[in-house]
Amino acid sequence: MKEKEIKFNFDNSYLNLSDSFYKIQYPSKVKEPKLVIFNNNLSEEIGLSSNALISDYGANILSGNLIYEESTPISQAYAGHQFGHFTMLGDGRAILLGEHITPNGNRIDIQLKGAGRTAYSRGGDGRAALGPMIREYIISEAMNGLRIPTTRSLAVVTTGESIVRERVEQGAILTRVASSHIRVGTFQYAVRFTNYENLKALADYTIKRHYSEGEKKENPYLYLLEEVIKRQAHLVSKWLQVGFIHGVMNTDNVTISGETIDYGPCAFMDTYNPETVFSSIDYQGRYAYGNQSYIMAWNLARFAETLIPLLSDNEEEAIELAQNSISKFNDIYKESYIMGMRKKLGLFNEEKEDDNLIYDLLNLMHKYEADYTNTFRSLTLNIKDNIIMFETTEFNEWKSRWQERLKRQRESEKEAIDLMKSVNPSVIPRNHRVEEAIEAAVKKDDYTLINKLLDVLSTPYDYTKDKEEYTKLPKPSKIPYRTFCGT
């Protein structure tokens, strides 16, 4: 009876692919599952019963201790370039319970992250620590609030068990919701470790699931490539517009659906600096804030390479089609980025000098070490907010140019401000806020700060009094902020 109350509606179409793409994999049972964070809004949105899941029975389902009757749990195979080096990968600690069909007909993956060893664990324990799972929950939900395509988090369950990383930590399992978990790395795996028939089957499956218009096209595989390029170009432009740094842009972390995935070493930038890196393992700055568009283009070139056998029977023609498609990335990205930045300055129309206006401001922000989010928030509210840059002659000259530019458009000052408020978040998940919330939960079993932070981040474009406390910057520190992947 309780299974029916939860209302999972599983239909596992991925199992129709060759079993070289997955292994049937049941989660490892845990000692004492306890539901500590639950996403009521997401649960209702996808047609699940929150009341049924917020129970001991629900905790057992969301920990993998009990398997829903319609579920056929699997771990997925994929490969990828990690920091530029190709390797065989796969779900080393994640298990896909199934594809849930929502009441409005959407097909979404329900995955348990930290559910135990799999065929692809490569010697790992398959488990996850509580801190990183909370981190993914907070950041992914913040990204959703910022209207950036993302995987989402349904729940965090503690396991009642300890795991060993650099120290002994509490074990936890995250329930991740995604349009799918098909990655650039999935296609790399198909090319390197299977055969042409499996590659074609994967591409056909992906088109049907995510780009069904492509089934009507003369060359559906070229359509697939070009649509993925468009989605990822728009995605990375949105990241940069809010100061987000992914931190681990390996090809296995680039989804074909165009959603942001894997929130390990990610963070939001405070002081504007294109060279900002937070990841403790990114020694060369490969995935720095300012490199993200270039890396995305590189990753998509690897995707294009996998499709060459499908693009044309003539290899030279296939290579030319792939190269032509990839060459469009930068223009698509730049157009999306500049359009977004115009909006951040309240600009509705286009003028030739807009690029200079935007980049001149960014250069001033870099020079005077201005906070990225608060600079645009202050411009929106027309306040100085203790930003040193605002007191300089250089900025006042820039501001005069900006004000003249605003006067040349037909829209009113109020309309410009409303536009700025709609795209300039008042709050982001500040690193110090995320860390203090995680610390309270991990060390004190206190989820008050997390719940408050999640509430604030759910409406980041609301300029309300309750948000002001969350706009404050961290205290100065000589120790640079570092993030970790959690594995």
- Contact (Cβ atoms closer than 8 angstroms) between residue 263 and residue 136: yes
pLDDT of residue 485: 62
Reported as a pLDDT band with limits 50, 70 and 90, residue 149 is very high
Q: How many helices (H) and strands (E) does the chain have?
A: 17, 12
Sequence ranges of the domains in the chain? 2-178, 184-336
User: What is residue 165's DSSP assignment?
Assistant: S
Residue 141, amino acid? E
pLDDT of residue 475: 84
For 142-166, what is the mean pLDDT? 96
Sign of CA dihedral 298, 212, 197, 79: positive
Residue 135's closest CA among 480, 434, 420? Answer: 434
Please provide the distance, in angstroms rounded to a whole number, between the alpha carbons at the two ends of the chain. Answer: 37
pLDDT at 90 over 50: yes
pLDDT at 4 over 80: no
Question: Whole-angstrom Cα distance, residue 277 to residue 347?
Answer: 30
Beta strand 267-268 with 244-245: parallel, antiparallel or unpaired?
antiparallel
pLDDT of residue 486: 58
Kindly report the average pLDDT of the chain as a whole number: 95
Question: Whole-angstrom Cα distance, residue 421 to residue 468?
Answer: 15
Extended strands (E) in 165-271: 168-178, 244-245, 267-268
- Contact (Cβ atoms closer than 8 angstroms) between residue 333 and residue 293: yes
Reported as a pLDDT band with limits 50, 70 and 90, residue 487 is low
For 344-363, what is the mean pLDDT? 97
How many of the other CB atoms lie within 10 Å of CB of 400? 10
pLDDT of residue 1: 45
pLDDT of residue 264: 86
**Annotated active-site residue in 252, 262, 282, 371:** 252
Reported as a pLDDT band with limits 50, 70 and 90, residue 279 is confident
pLDDT at 480 over 80: no
Alpha-carbon torsion, ordered 167, 172, 175, 180, to 10 deg? 30
pLDDT in tens, 201-260: 999 999 999 999 999 999 999 999 999 999 999 999 999 999 999 999 999 999 999 999
Task: Confirm whether 19 is a catalytic residue.
Answer: no
pLDDT in tens, 384-436: 988 999 999 999 999 999 999 999 999 999 999 999 999 999 999 999 999 99
How many of the other CB atoms lie within 10 Å of CB of 137? 27
Look up tokens 């610390």; give the residue: 439
Beta bridge partners of 260: 150
